[in-house]
Amino acid sequence: MKLDPNIIASDVACFCETRLWHLDTNEDTSLEIKHQYRQDSKHIIARTRLPHGIAVYSGSCFTYGPFEETSPGIEMKVLSVKQQPEVIIVAIYKTPKASAASLVKLIKAVYNKHVHESKAIFL
């Protein structure tokens, strides 16, 4: 990942299930030219990282968020970046067990809370 030219050239890259192993650190997954936000980074308990979470990398600073929105089995990261602050980016992860109805409900809530009349990209 650290050498993938597509990831390095991207403005924003979002990944889910980001744990490499239970003791990995943010430095293990950092990219030199990117700002990094890992949803699981603040949940390290006894030096053990949880097995889930969304990671967001951006070539420029975050100007809005990242904000976490969750429901059982669904995680979302809501943000915008300096390059295009008028565009809200929503990264979504849904487990196979979470229902489509729950996903739609959370998307609607995120839209009403964060997007409104803005342009948005849902990933």
pLDDT, one tens digit per residue, over 38-48 is 765 555 555 55
CA distance 59 to 10: 7
Q: Which two tokens stand for residue 55?
A: 């990671």
Burial class (CB in 10 A: 0-12, 13-18, 19+), 18: buried
pLDDT in tens, 64-113: 888 989 899 898 999 998 888 899 999 999 989 999 999 999 999 999 99
Query: Where do the structural domains in the chain lie, given as residue ranges?
Result: 5-122
> pTM (2 decimals)?
0.78
Q: What is the largest CA-CA distance in the chain?
A: 43
- At residue 42, φ and ψ (nearest 5 deg) are -90, 5
Note whether 98 and 74 are within 8 A (CB). yes
> Under a CB-based contact definition with an 8 Å cutoff, are residues 79 and 64 in contact?
yes
